Structure 1
Amino acid sequence: MTLRRGTLGGHTYEFTDLAALLAAATPERSGDVLAGVAASSEQERVAAQGVLADLPLATFLDEHVVSYEDDEVTRLIVDSHDADAFAPVSAMTVGEFRDHLLDPLTDTTSLTAGLTPEMVAATSKLMRVQDLVAVARRTPVVTAFRSTVGRPGTLATRLQPNDPTDDPAGVTASIVDGLLLGCGDAVIGINPATDSPSRTTDLLHLVDEVRTRYEIPTQSCVLAHVTTSIEIMERGAPVDLVFQSVAGTEAANDGFGVTLALLREAHEAALALDRGTVGTNCMYFETGQGSALSADAHRGVDQQTLEARAYGVARAFDPLIVNTVVGFIGPEYLYDGKQITRAGLEDHLCGKLLGVPMGVDVCYTNHAEADADDTDTLLTMLGVAGCSFVICVPGGDDVMLHYQSLSFHDALYARQALGLRPAPEFAAWLERMELLADDGRVRELAPDATRALTAGVR
């Protein structure tokens, strides 16, 4: 352990190790208070940020917030670090690196392999909201399967047609609703009510039939556990993307029932299916600040740093898409709209700086101090920041998961207000279906397309 001290207003604060310093420097959030790692006052937070700003960036290569010997996530991060990519910034402090990223002439994308999750988390703690937006906007991450996600000037969507009973008619109706409103270019992704292999396979066939019948250039995913995906791939199920929730410590991933070896097995199996047309990125990961703490597996580390470490896991498997479910765990971890907004922008930036194709589920639970004004604000800022995709559900109300998210109409607003387009292959399909006007707007009435897409819905 290395003791570090910071002085503010005549008072000296001591930070016993790197994890304690990072936690104390983190902007306030309820999860860190719950974990007992947050700064005791704003004065201590400012003192910690001053110490962090002067910390050499290379420190993170020698000191680890979770020990190398005890944690496979730490070993993955350390063993995969690219020293050559890190070399241009290796002599900088965290504060100097922040200033470097804010320079409009800095090529942020060339640094990704040389950065560790702890480096980018530390840097984000020193940033204002506008800094998080400005740097993320200049850091595109482009991936592809049947559609290309993440190109500058685009905003893709996950169409989430959840149903409390996995009713085929309900799922299909939600899919049609989303497609008619120009959504679904990142993925048509269903949270199943159960994790049974047979139910997962039935839902995959349902989406695959819709996709193939109308030649939609997108990909499907039923968000079953990775072991279920491996099992049904062996049986010939039409799996496009393999999904898994991941976290920033080995213990938290153990709580999800996954290891890095299991993820490698799933990745190799999905690659072998060779179902992509314009790319081979075939993994989908979800994360969220507070997931390690909720599993009592945070190891004394603040939730935002652990979230960045989850992106270190994700990037090892070349995913098509990754998203933070930013307000889903509840106010115990992100108390209100302000904390949710800050966390969503932090996650988006940190993922992109690590080379991860980041999206955000802009959402909140009904007992949080948040409302639709907060989701409007975060959606708008993410659109400005170049977010790869957002998640949309009918009416903004997920009737299966019981939380508030974005609606299909919210995605239309963001595209129109910010001049953004769907993924290019999907935009071309919308035009062929007469659903997209020349100026990029989704048409209000497209009777032929409506009749075609709803012909099989009962």
Structure 2
Amino acid sequence: MTYSSNIHSIHYRFENLRDLLGKAGAARSGDSLAGVAANSAEERVAAQLALADVPLQSFLNEAVIPYEQDEVTRLIHDSHDRAAFAPLSSFTVGEFRNWLLSERTDDAALAAVSLGITPEMAAAVCKLMRNQDLIAVARKRRVITRFRNTLGLQGRLSVRLQPNHPTDDPHGILASTIDGLMYGAGDAVIGVNPASDDPLKLRPVWDLLAALVERLEMPTQTCVLTHATRQIEAIEQGAPIDLLFQSIGGTEALNRSFGISLALLREAQHAALSLKRGTVGNNVMYFETGQGSALSANAHHGVDQLTCEVRAYAVARAFDPLLVNTVVGFIGPEYLFDGKQITRAGLEDHFCGKLLGLPMGVDICYTNHAQADQNDVDDLLLLLGAAGVNYVMGVPGSDDILLGYQSTSYHDALYVRETLGLRRAPEFEDWLQRMGLTDDEGQLTSSTELAIPALTRAAALPT
């Protein structure tokens, strides 16, 4: 089906929904590289005008990637909840936007329709919204998940403590972890990106993190972000794994390039659940995504990068994750060129993920060859804090010495919590108070240094 609109007596025609979605999106380098972006600002506006008039029902009748060719498309179609979609079924994309922005549409209303919203619907309405619209809607939606603590509550912002080390040295990982705990980071997860995929080197990291949590009686979860197959093997060998991590994408071809399928993810979820390591819940999956990944793997099928990204959220939604993290600027300027594009993409991803009912976090980051700096990180951090993001990263000094990119620091989390009046996960906050690291208001105490010897002894770390 073709779509069209007129501006200044110029007729713009779009071949299909895939073409229309690509042309209607905010300008970004990846879509230009893929040849799916609008050729001018005027054509972009024409596409947005046409998109606003598209009935939401059209997204159920026209797949951007054919059903027969892609298991993600099949997942989206086969799991669509018609009853949940019913309140939206008469809307166009423009009317859907108005409904989302209405004061009468609250968290309960958004939750009720969540399973009726397909990724393409979410991406479409996102393309009609200003940044403030994305913030206004996303902040209404709270997605709460549990493992050893409770994440996503109103007025809370959690932090993934990311103590990466270029040689996976246990003392280096522990030192960075203790440093992060001193700043009250780690309630989302203590998650290590390993330098090696060697099982003999991975197991000590799992054992180290598990021992740390046990010795300190810390209500949080740990994760080593290696491939799902490695984690399944490690579970079979008795490794103390809390969360099962995997990078995922929005097309079958992209997931194949990651060495995964929906069946493998289901096997991994079952393996993690079998350990029964959660104490307050059983959300055991941790997924990471990122705009541009499908294009970088030549697995995008001519679909724009936002729509591909949101299709990955349909994959995540099928596995009830504890955490979903869009690593928004990690791939590089070929896909998100500068701070403005990174900011827009971060707000888009968070909004679309929340719309689909996911516990969204954002790694607010950039590579050193992008046209961005820490001021852009500061801006997006504050915007996402206002939008109700579930969690952000805590990287020592904002500079990840393993992955070679810039993100948010332990100090940045303190800043945004103080500025916006946000607290940590309640169980973790109580633990910090018992350890003498924070007061009743969640503020770091003047006696923080007194807790260091106790933490290092418990962690078996040389002082």
TM-score clears 0.5: yes
SS at match of 1:301: coil
What is the correspondence of 1:310-325 to structure 2 with a 5 Å cutoff?
310-325=312-327
Tell me the distance in 1 between the aligned counterparts of 2:206 and 2:198: 12
Letter in 2 for 1:457: L
Alignment-derived partner of residue 78 in structure 2: 79
Tell me the distance in 1 between the aligned counterparts of 2:150 and 2:178: 21
What is the correspondence of 1:243-392 to structure 2 with a 5 Å cutoff?
243-392=245-394
Alignment-derived partner of residue 25 in structure 2: 26
Letter in 1 for 2:266: R
Tell me the distance in 2 between the aligned counterparts of 1:272 and 1:317: 15
Tell me the distance in 2 between the aligned counterparts of 1:152 and 1:199: 39
Letter in 1 for 2:9: G
Alignment-derived partner of residue 192 in structure 2: 190
Using structure 1 for the length normalisation, give the TM-score.
0.99
SS at match of 2:91: coil
Tell me the distance in 1 between the aligned counterparts of 2:34 and 2:445: 49
8 Å CA contact 2:317–2:358 kept in 1: the answer is: yes
Write out per-residue CA displacement over residues 286-313 of structure 1, whole angstroms, 9 at most, x where no aligned residue.
0000000000000000000000000000
Tell me the distance in 2 between the aligned counterparts of 1:136 and 1:51: 24
Tell me the distance in 2 between the aligned counterparts of 1:196 and 1:159: 23
8 Å CA contact 2:52–2:128 kept in 1: the answer is: yes
Write out per-residue CA displacement over residues 310-341 of structure 1, whole angstroms, 9 at most, x where no aligned residue.
00000100000000000000000000000000
Letter in 1 for 2:14: F
Tell me the distance in 2 between the aligned counterparts of 1:105 and 1:234: 50
Tell me the distance in 2 between the aligned counterparts of 1:66 and 1:375: 34
Tell me the distance in 1 between the aligned counterparts of 2:160 and 2:272: 20
Alignment-derived partner of residue 425 in structure 2: 423
Tell me the distance in 2 between the aligned counterparts of 1:439 and 1:257: 45
Deviates more, 1:88-97 or 1:103-112: 103-112
Tell me the distance in 2 between the aligned counterparts of 1:171 and 1:32: 38
Alignment-derived partner of residue 393 in structure 1: 395
SS at match of 2:249: coil
SS at match of 2:67: coil
Alignment-derived partner of residue 165 in structure 1: 167
Alignment-derived partner of residue 108 in structure 1: 110
Write out per-residue CA displacement over residues 385-429 of structure 1, whole angstroms, 9 at most, x where no aligned residue.
110000111000000000000000000001111000001110010
Alignment-derived partner of residue 61 in structure 2: 62
Compute the displacement of 1:20 (Å): 0.4
Gaps spanning 5+ residues in structure 2: where? none
Gaps spanning 5+ residues in structure 1: where? none
Tell me the distance in 2 between the aligned counterparts of 1:359 and 1:287: 10
Alignment-derived partner of residue 8 in structure 2: 9
Letter in 1 for 2:296: S
Compute the displacement of 1:447 (Å): 3.3
Compute the displacement of 1:437 (Å): 1.6
Letter in 2 for 1:41: S
SS at match of 2:245: strand
SS at match of 2:371: coil
SS at match of 2:148: coil
Alignment-derived partner of residue 461 in structure 2: 457
Q: How many residues align?
A: 457
Tell me the distance in 2 between the aligned counterparts of 1:163 and 1:418: 31
Letter in 2 for 1:111: V
Tell me the distance in 2 between the aligned counterparts of 1:32 and 1:445: 51
8 Å CA contact 2:138–2:355 kept in 1: the answer is: yes
Letter in 1 for 2:428: F
Q: 2:150 aligns with which of 148, 154, 170?
A: 148
Letter in 2 for 1:196: D
Letter in 2 for 1:328: F
SS at match of 2:294: helix
Write out per-residue CA displacement over residues 235-293 of structure 1, whole angstroms, 9 at most, x where no aligned residue.
11001000000000000000000000000000011111110000000000000000000
Compute the displacement of 1:438 (Å): 2.3
Tell me the distance in 1 between the aligned counterparts of 2:250 and 2:30: 15
8 Å CA contact 2:436–2:447 kept in 1: the answer is: no
Alignment-derived partner of residue 44 in structure 1: 43
Tell me the distance in 1 between the aligned counterparts of 2:386 and 2:446: 25
Moved over 4 A (4+): none
SS at match of 1:69: helix
Percent identity, aligned pairs only, is: 61
Q: Kindly indicate whether residue 95 of structure 2 is the aligned counterpart of residue 96 of structure 1.
A: yes
What is the correspondence of 1:111-260 to structure 2 with a 5 Å cutoff?
111-260=113-262
Write out per-residue CA displacement over residues 7-49 of structure 1, whole angstroms, 9 at most, x where no aligned residue.
1111111111110000000000000000010000000000000
SS at match of 1:14: strand
Tell me the distance in 2 between the aligned counterparts of 1:134 and 1:443: 34
Tell me the distance in 2 between the aligned counterparts of 1:373 and 1:417: 16
Tell me the distance in 2 between the aligned counterparts of 1:42 and 1:208: 52
Tell me the distance in 2 between the aligned counterparts of 1:200 and 1:115: 39
Tell me the distance in 1 between the aligned counterparts of 2:444 and 2:120: 41
Letter in 2 for 1:273: L
8 Å CA contact 2:326–2:363 kept in 1: the answer is: yes
Compute the displacement of 1:444 (Å): 4.1
Deviates more, 1:405-414 or 1:441-450: 441-450
Compute the displacement of 1:135 (Å): 0.4
CA RMSD of aligned residues (A): 0.8
8 Å CA contact 2:244–2:286 kept in 1: the answer is: yes
Tell me the distance in 1 between the aligned counterparts of 2:342 and 2:140: 22
SS at match of 1:130: helix
Tell me the distance in 1 between the aligned counterparts of 2:461 and 2:333: 38
